[in-house]
Amino acid sequence: MKKNIGIFLVMCIMLTACKNDKFPYDDELDDSEKNEISTEYDSLIDRKIANTKDEKINIGYDEALSEYEGYLDNVKLFEEDYKNQDYDGDGKTDRIFQYFRNDNKKVYTICFGNGDHLELGAFDDTFLGLEVWGADITGDGKNEIVFCGEHTGNTWIQSGSEIAIWRKDGSEYTRMNLPGKQTGMRYSAGYDIYIEKAEQENTILVTCPELGLEEEYVLPENQREEFDSCYKDLKVGERILSSSKAWKIAVDGDDIFLYEAFLDRQTAAVKIKMQWKENKFEVMNTEILEEYL
């Protein structure tokens, strides 16, 4: 009888351990715990790849983003965007593998042709889109990895995207310090931009103390009705925070551009031009655009 009770207790302990075999959220961890979990996730991606068929599949957009696990170039909808890519510029084909962690957060992993892995995420938004490319931003002859993830499920995706840049330091990839709240697993990039309703009709003052930006913006006729609807309670002289997160990043030679929409449901944006100088991003100038790109 005692032997049976002992076996029963052991089984209960094992079942409890299985039920708790989920990783806690990153916000609840200190750095040492995150490093330990990162190692476990490295083995998780290896298991995911080993247990996933490497074959073409024809599925819908929603399923591809929120349920599918596998290489993105195998999805017919995404094939042209992700096949035959060489992000790090070493002449070997790189692929992107999408999977979901035990806590249902989504992870994108760049599987480089040389055997390296770079994990992007994890993200709460399972409908997060993905744009990745390589560019030599630092001028050292090696590609950095640029990432932009749009929240495609949002009604207004220009409200902010997940943006980050990685550079290879020896055998490891490290995240470069873009402006914004890029701490831990967060991928926010951008500046706090404010708007103030001016006395002059259809005019607002756009300001950003960090950028030294203070400029009047006259609403074009096609933006006025939407502005009046979204900001009907905004009083003359009242200043509000309108944006703190860029929604687009672009690279042109040595120049990096962040685009930050500063009006709800409008096409106006602040274009922020930066360059990598002395191991940091330096803002070169800003420009207010009536249209995004």
How many other CB atoms are found less than 10 A from the CB of residue 205?
16
Distance, in Å, from the CA atom of 31 to the CA atom of 138, rounded to the nearest integer, reads 28
Please, where are the H alpha helices in 53-108? 61-66, 79-82
Instruction: Indicate the pLDDT class of residue 43, thresholds 50, 70 and 90.
Output: low
What is the gyration radius of the CA atoms in the chain, in angstroms?
23
pTM above 0.75, yes or no: yes
Place of tokens 């040389």: 114
Query: What is the chain's mean pLDDT, rounded?
Result: 84
Q: What is the pLDDT of residue 14?
A: 38
Q: What is the pLDDT of residue 86?
A: 98
pLDDT at 288 > cutoff 90: yes
Q: Which two tokens stand for residue 70?
A: 């596998």
| 76-103 tens-digit pLDDT | 999 999 999 999 999 999 999 999 998 9
Q: Among residues 176, 175, 153, 178, which one has the least CA distance to residue 245?
A: 178
Question: For the range 60-68, what are the long-range contacts, defined as Cβ-Cβ under 8 Å and sequence gap of 24 or more?
Answer: 62/127, 65/126, 65/127, 65/128, 65/129, 65/152, 66/126, 66/127, 68/98
Instruction: Indicate the pLDDT class of residue 49, thresholds 50, 70 and 90.
Output: very high
Distance, in Å, from the CA atom of 15 to the CA atom of 274, rounded to the nearest integer, reads 54
> What SS3 class is residue 279?
coil
pLDDT at 279 > cutoff 50: yes
pLDDT at 10 > cutoff 60: no
Q: Which residue has the higher pLDDT, 122 or 22?
A: 122
Q: Which two tokens stand for residue 17?
A: 């351990």
| 200-209 tens-digit pLDDT | 999 999 999 9
Distance, in Å, from the CA atom of 159 to the CA atom of 260, rounded to the nearest integer, reads 8
Residue 31's identity, in one-letter code, is D
Q: Which residue has the higher pLDDT, 34 or 265?
A: 265
DSSP letter string, 137-151: -SSSSS-EEEEEE-B
- Sign of the CA dihedral running 25, 30, 31, 35: negative
64-78, 146-160, 278-292, range with the lowest pLDDT: 146-160
Instruction: Indicate the pLDDT class of residue 15, thresholds 50, 70 and 90.
Output: very low
Q: Are 189 and 176 a contacting pair, CB within 8 Å?
A: no
Q: What's phi and psi for 259, nearest 5 deg?
A: -115, 125
3-7, 134-138, 249-253, 270-274, range with the lowest pLDDT: 3-7
